[in-house]
Amino acid sequence: AIRFTSQRAVTLVIAVITVVLGLIVLRQGHEASGFALFLFFALAFGLGILMTLPIGGADMPVVISLYNALTGLAVGFEGFVLQNPAMMIAGIVVGSAGTLLTQLMAKAMNRPISNVLFSNFGDTGGAEGGEVKGTMKPIEATDAGVMMAFSDKVIIVPGYGMAVAQAQHKLWELVQLLQERGVTVKFAIHPVAGRMPGHMNVLLAEAGVPYDMIYDLDEINNDFSTADVALVIGANDVVNPAARNNPDSPIYGMPILNVDQAKNVIVIKRGQGAGFSGIENELFFADNTRMLYGDGQEMVSKLIAAIKEI
C-alpha cells in the first residue's frame, strides 16, 4: 500500500473534476474537442490508480472483486450508449455477479462492505502486525512423507500458491496414496482462498477430488484439533493466527482456518516471503510447524515418492 498526505482529498477532487468534465463532454456531444475527451480519460485513469494505491492488507481481494463488478457496469453502460443489446446483457450479468461476489468476499473477510468502500478504504490503521519471534524450522520431503503416511487424519489446506504451481493433480495423487494406507484425508477451503470464492474448489474438481472431501471454513474448523497433520500448500493469510490473536494486525478479525491447532503442520512454500497482506505469518514460526521449501508441484511429487518407498 502506498499513501501520502491528503491522499483522500486529492482523490476526491480528481473524482469531482472527472465527473464534471465527463458531463461537459456529454453535453457538447460531437462538438466536444479531442483534448477534452483525452483529458477525461487521463483523469479517469489517474483516479483508478489513486483509488488502488492505498489498498493493502485484507482489503485487496475485496477491491479486486469490486473492480470486476465496475468493469461489467462500464460495459453495460457502453451498451446502452451504442444501443448494443449483447453488450448491455453481458455488462449487467458481469456487474451483478461481481457485486454479489464483492458482498460475499467482504462477508468472508468479516468486514462490512460499507466500511471497505467508504469508511476505511484500504486502511489498515498503519499497523504492520509487529515482529514475530522465533525461527522457521525446515523439514525434508522424506520426513514429511513418513509423517503423513503414518497419520490417522490429514487435512489439506490449498491456497493461491497451489494454483500457481498447478499442483492440484499431484495433490490428488498424494491423497489417493494416503487413502490406500487407511489415512482419512479432508480438504479445508477458506472462502477467500485464491483470487475469488470457489477458486480452489474448481481446481480440485478439475483434478478429480470428490465434492464430499471438500469442506468450507465453518464445517472443518473444529476438526483441526483432532488432525495428526495439516498440510498447507500455497495458503498464507487465511491460516495466520494473528487474525485471531493480534489486535494490531492488519488482518485482525478475519475468520481463519485453525491450522495451528493440528498436532503437526507442514507448510509447502517457495520461500520466506510474506503473504498477500504483506505481514509475517505466526503459524510459520510455531513449534508444531515445519516448512517444506520449494515449488508446490515438485514438493508434492517428492512426498508421493517418499510414501511409495515406505
260 included as an active-site residue: no
The 10s digit of each residue's pLDDT in 226-270 is: 999 999 999 888 899 988 888 887 778 888 999 999 999 999 998
Could you tell me which residue, 10 or 276, shows the higher pLDDT? 10
Confidence grade of residue 6 (pLDDT, cut at 50, 70, 90): confident
Q: What is the pLDDT of residue 127?
A: 47
* Domains of the chain, CATH where assigned: 7-119 (no CATH), 141-308 (3.40.50.1220)
**With 80 as the cut, is the pLDDT of residue 298 above it?**
yes
The CA distances from residue 44 to 22, 40, 41, 101, 287, in Å, are 10, 6, 5, 24, 50
From 59, 123, 223, 237, the catalytic residue: 237
CA distance 162 to 268: 9
Residues 291, 295, 296, 298, CA torsion sign: negative
Confidence grade of residue 121 (pLDDT, cut at 50, 70, 90): very low
* Block residue for cell numbers 497482506: 277
Torsion of CA 48, 252, 291, 304, to 10 degrees: -80
Q: What is the pLDDT of residue 307?
A: 95
Q: Find the largest Cα–Cα distance for the chain.
A: 79
Q: What is the pLDDT of residue 56?
A: 62
The 10s digit of each residue's pLDDT in 25-62 is: 888 877 777 888 889 999 999 988 888 777 765 566 77
Confidence grade of residue 115 (pLDDT, cut at 50, 70, 90): low
Q: What is the pLDDT of residue 118?
A: 54
Minimal CA–CA distance to 80: which of 93, 67, 69, 89? Answer: 89
Q: What is the pLDDT of residue 122?
A: 46
Q: How far apart are the first and last CA of the chain?
A: 48
Contact 190, 217 (CB under 8 A): yes
Q: For the chain, what percent of residues have pLDDT higher than 70?
A: 89
Grid cell locating 128: 504492520
Could you tell me which residue, 32 or 171, shows the higher pLDDT? 171
Its pTM stands at 0.77
Confidence grade of residue 197 (pLDDT, cut at 50, 70, 90): confident
pLDDT, averaged across the chain: 86
**Mean pLDDT calculated for residue range 209-231:** 94
Name residue 72's amino acid.
G
Q: What is the pLDDT of residue 57?
A: 57
The CA distances from residue 285 to 13, 132, 264, 272, in Å, are 45, 8, 13, 11
CA distance 1 to 3: 7
Q: What is the pLDDT of residue 155?
A: 97
**With 60 as the cut, is the pLDDT of residue 119 above it?**
no
* DSSP secondary structure letters along 178-237: HHHTT-EEEEEE-TTSTTSTTHHHHHHHHHT--GGGEEEHHHHGGGGGG-SEEEEES--G
Q: Which residues contact 97 (CB under 8 A, 6 or more apart)?
A: 69, 72
Grid cell locating 51: 483509488
